[in-house]
Amino acid sequence: MTDTPKRAQRAGHGADTIYWDPAKKSFVGAVSLGHGPNGKRRRPKVYGKTKTEVRQKIRDLKKEVQTGVKAPANYTVAEAVNDWLERGLKGRDEKGTIGKNRSMANKHLIPFIGKAKLKELSADDVDDWLDDRAEFLATRSLRDLLAILRRSIAHAQRRDKAARNVALLVTAPEGRPGRPSKALNLEQAKAVLTAARPSRLYAYLVLSLLSGVRTEEARPLTWDHVFLEATDGIPPHVAVWRSVRKHGETKTRKSRRTIALPRQVVDVLEEHMRWQKQERASRGMAWSPAGRVFTTRSGEPLDAANVRRDFKAIVKKAGLKPEWTPRELRHSFVSLLSDHGIPLERIALLVGHSSQATTEAVYRKQLRPVITQGAEAMDDIFAEGQEGEAAEDDEEGDAVA
């Protein structure tokens, strides 16, 4: 049976019919659904460009009748996505999960298939949309987009607004190669820290680069989780127990860890604490041990946008290309330790990975063959040439912030 238009043949009693309508320039499917309460035959019609499309619509219509799901005729993909964002993600982080999904949907989903009626959306439509976006997006982003559509339609199904989820029939295509993460070498790392020295972000960058904490772990860090003095044989350390994720949870259970601090980090954080106390006192604000270690000028918590903006300016000042991101400080931490001979299993513990295999998979480009251990390594790595720079900085009287 082909999709070539032919004259309609008379259907048997109670049978479904597919025929070409020259006036509408489309195939028509007349569906037999028995008789209504008034005794008249119920024979709704569906339309499509091909017989295959019409057959699928007939099956969908019959499924709606069997399941009792009557999908609204004019309910669009955009409405389904927005309903899911508003109601299906309740309790999620507005700036994180919801914000990311909303941004992706508004930029890459709704403008392209948002006007399509959900009831009429086909797997081919989804394939065509993803193939178009594959020219501009990485494979990971395409998978995220498809997941948004799948979950939006599933949310609509639970509310009897969709009979089936066509997005489940589709696989995300390969997209553009993603931008690979990279790591600062020692000279670049020192240049960044030197450029950051007069800024509010200096202590933040020193902690991130020399201890390997994630950006979402550094931003919510409070002083009562920072221990700058050795006690009972325990060296100065930072307790990484929270992040800016929902409910303050760290990425994984292994991410909750206590990290010994290099001497250089201790010195910088001590100076940062003194400076923060002075700044808050001058503005009539109380300083609290439970307060944030890193804040804006008004004392508000840092957000990711603050950090990215200031880091970009620092990188430019250091003479590097502005494409570097704060999260690559963690990649640099791994790379510097690996170059210094720290064993992979030790690095996995320091960065809070659930296994050595995770570290190897995530940071395989930064790892080298290895041999020895932790916080002392960073003091060794950054020791050369730092004393002279610190002395010059003290003479200039720059605030460490």
pLDDT digits (tens, 9 = 90+) for 345-366: 665 555 554 444 443 444 444 4
| 56 and 81 fall within a common domain | no
277-309 pLDDT, tens digit each: 999 999 888 888 888 999 988 888 888 888 999
> Which of 191, 199, 206, 350 has the alpha carbon at shortest distance from 269?
206
Token pair listed for 224 = 């009562």
Q: What element of type H or E holds 29? A: strand 26-30
What pLDDT does residue 215 have? 83
- The letter for the amino acid at 307 is V
Model confidence at 318, pLDDT cuts 50, 70, 90, reads: very high
The larger pLDDT score, comparing residue 253 to residue 76, is at 76
| 120 and 257 fall within a common domain | no
The larger pLDDT score, comparing residue 219 to residue 212, is at 219
| 58 and 83 fall within a common domain | no
Could you tell me if 19 and 31 are in contact, meaning their C-beta atoms sit under 8 angstroms apart? no
Mean pLDDT, residues 219-239 taken together: 87
Which of the given ranges, 98-102, 268-272, 329-333, has the highest pLDDT on average? Answer: 268-272
The larger pLDDT score, comparing residue 12 to residue 57, is at 57
**Average confidence score pLDDT of the chain:** 78
Residue 125, helix vs strand vs coil? helix
| 228 and 370 fall within a common domain | yes
What pLDDT does residue 206 have? 92
Could you tell me if 297 and 306 are in contact, meaning their C-beta atoms sit under 8 angstroms apart? no
Q: Which of 121, 139, 169 is the last residue of a domain?
A: 169
55, 63, 91, 115, 351 from 275: Cα distances, Å? 73, 69, 37, 55, 28
> Which of 264, 267, 251, 268 has the alpha carbon at shortest distance from 204?
268
Check which CATH number belongs to the domain holding 247 and give it: 1.10.443.10
Does residue 3 belong to any structural domain of this protein? no
What pLDDT does residue 393 have? 44
Which of the given ranges, 236-250, 323-337, 375-389, has the highest pLDDT on average? Answer: 323-337
Which residues are designated catalytic?
214, 251, 330, 353, 363
| 203 and 230 fall within a common domain | yes
Phi, psi of 138 (to 5 degrees): -75, 160
Does residue 359 belong to any structural domain of this protein? yes
Which residue range is the domain that position 360 belongs to?
186-385
Would you tell me how many other CB atoms lie within 10 Å of the CB of residue 17? 18
| 269 and 120 fall within a common domain | no
Alpha-carbon distance of 156 to 10, in angstroms, equals 38
Does residue 126 belong to any structural domain of this protein? yes
Percent of the chain with pLDDT over 70: 71
Does residue 232 belong to any structural domain of this protein? yes
State the distance between the two ends of the chain, measured CA to CA, in whole angstroms.
Answer: 75
Would you tell me how many other CB atoms lie within 10 Å of the CB of residue 335? 23
| 282 and 378 fall within a common domain | yes
Residue 369, helix vs strand vs coil? coil
Does residue 157 belong to any structural domain of this protein? yes
Strands (E), 235-341: 237-240, 257-260
What pLDDT does residue 293 have? 94
- The letter for the amino acid at 201 is L
What pLDDT does residue 85 have? 92
Mean pLDDT, residues 78-92 taken together: 88
| 276 and 318 fall within a common domain | yes
| 214 and 233 fall within a common domain | yes
Q: How many domains does the chain have?
A: 3
Does residue 4 belong to any structural domain of this protein? no
What pLDDT does residue 127 have? 94
Res. 199: pLDDT tops 70: yes
| 227 and 139 fall within a common domain | no
Alpha-carbon distance of 110 to 112, in angstroms, equals 5
Could you tell me if 295 and 301 are in contact, meaning their C-beta atoms sit under 8 angstroms apart? yes
What pLDDT does residue 335 have? 78
Alpha-carbon distance of 63 to 292, in angstroms, equals 56
Does residue 365 belong to any structural domain of this protein? yes
What pLDDT does residue 365 have? 42
Reduced 3-state DSSP string for 222-259:
EHHHEECCCECCECCEEEECCCCCHHHCCCCHHHCEEE
The larger pLDDT score, comparing residue 92 to residue 399, is at 92
Alpha-carbon distance of 241 to 253, in angstroms, equals 9
| 272 and 330 fall within a common domain | yes
Say what the pTM is.
0.52
| 295 and 380 fall within a common domain | yes
Check which CATH number belongs to the domain holding 99 and give it: 1.10.150.130
Could you tell me if 58 and 42 are in contact, meaning their C-beta atoms sit under 8 angstroms apart? no
Token pair listed for 109 = 């989903």
Does residue 178 belong to any structural domain of this protein? no
Q: Please name the residue that has the structure tokens 């259970």.
A: 253
Mean pLDDT, residues 91-100 taken together: 72
